Structure 1
Amino acid sequence: MKINWKKGIFSNNYTFYSEGKEIGNLEDKVFSSTSSGLLLDEKLKFITKGFFNPTTNIIDSKTNKVIGNIAYNSLQSKAVATFNTETLVWKYENFWNSKWSFNQRQNKLITASVSTTEGRVECETDKTVYLLTALFINSYYNRMSIAILIAIFIPIWMASMN
């Protein structure tokens, strides 16, 4: 499956397309710990907890049950998602963070090329929960990058005002 996504430059809301048709979205609010996503018939909720060692519960919105979780390694820009007995690793594939993959053992199930406002994802699995989770992790790291930039530049800007 091949999916394209688009979003505004300052937006965290993604729209997913396949063959030019809208097939889902990811609503990822900046100052909220809850995000929701829809892809084909799969509707998930992502609830993130913690600051220094964050984790995210993946919840099936139809049953309201936790179906997986995500643990982040912020220093390495890597995340591990666990679904029952399945473990997948999300990681950047290049220095510029414009390519990432979601891997099960050594198999790349999902690969992506992304920019600030759009991306292209190729998926070697039919499990939409994996695809939606990988897209959420990408959004999570984008939000963290922006937060770090703000934390760095506000003191510099404040110091230059004096």
Structure 2
Amino acid sequence: MEKLSWTKEIFGSKLEISQGNEKIGSINWESMVSSKAQAIINGRLFTLNREFFLSKLEIYDSNGQSLLGTIMINFLNPRSDILINGKRFELEIKNFWQSKWSWKFDGVDIITYTSHEFITKDKGTIDLATPITDEVEILILLGLFVRNQFILLMLLALLVVLVVII
């Protein structure tokens, strides 16, 4: 089983992915609340996009600008599906705090994310139970992009609560 790590400043616009001490990828948003991001993993370039209300996420090949996959996120349902190259993958949020989530193929976890900290940084690990393929690279990026959307939603909800209280 291969293990990757990721880290992102809570109010930052860049997430980095590493394998051991080597940086293998990143996701760069235009700003902390931006709906678009540029991503790179193992030298491949991607564009990530979300709808304004955070529910529809898309990933494009940056070179050809072809749509590689779309996933609809329902914040009340911990499971979502995506079709990539004719294969169906399922994203499952494992707990209420979104500190553990995974991609499944044929009901088996193939990529598992764990968040380890949320005070000053959002960081964690990615456990791969499958070899890295084009599809796995896409899923790695989408899984982290989904996580960022959940964090934005949680920060927005906290801001609303604070405004109501004050």
TM-score computed with the length of structure 1 as normaliser? 0.86
Aligned match for 1:123, one of 123, 128, 140: 128
Structure with max Cα Rg:
1
Deviation of 1:59 after TM superposition, in Å, equals: 0.4
Residue 149, structure 1, aligned to residue 151, structure 2: no
SS of the residue corresponding to residue 120 of structure 1 reads strand
**Alignment map for 1:105-116 (pairs within 5 Å):** 105-114=106-115, 115-116=117-118
Aligned match for 2:39, one of 19, 22, 37: 37
> Aligned partner of 2:34: which letter?
S
Q: 8 Å contact 1:123–1:131 — kept in the other structure?
A: no
Q: 8 Å contact 1:77–1:141 — kept in the other structure?
A: no
Q: Percent identity?
A: 22
Q: Mark the runs of 5 or more structure 1 residues left unpaired by the alignment.
A: 158-162
CA distance in 1, matches of 2:56, 2:96: 24
CA distance in 2, matches of 1:121, 1:26: 15
Deviation of 1:10 after TM superposition, in Å, equals: 2.0
Residues 149 and 105 of structure 1: CA distance in aligned 2, closer, same or farther (over 3 Å): farther
CA distance in 1, matches of 2:72, 2:10: 27
Q: 8 Å contact 1:7–1:13 — kept in the other structure?
A: yes
How many residues were matched structurally?
156
Deviation of 1:82 after TM superposition, in Å, equals: 2.4
SS of the residue corresponding to residue 73 of structure 1 reads coil
Residues 57 and 94 of structure 1: CA distance in aligned 2, closer, same or farther (over 3 Å): closer
What root-mean-square deviation, in Å, do the aligned CA atoms of Structure 1 and Structure 2 show? Answer: 1.8
TM-score computed with the length of structure 2 as normaliser? 0.84
Deviations 1:111-147 (A, max 9, x none): 0110322101011231311211111111121111111
Higher mean C-alpha displacement, 71-80 vs 130-139: 71-80
**Alignment map for 1:1-40 (pairs within 5 Å):** 1-28=2-29, 29-40=31-42
Q: Aligned residue for 1:160?
A: none
CA distance in 2, matches of 1:37, 1:133: 10
Deviation of 1:32 after TM superposition, in Å, equals: 2.0
Runs of 4+ in 1 over 6 A off after TM superposition: none
> Aligned partner of 1:93: which letter?
K
Q: Mark the runs of 5 or more structure 2 residues left unpaired by the alignment.
A: none
> Aligned partner of 1:45: which letter?
T
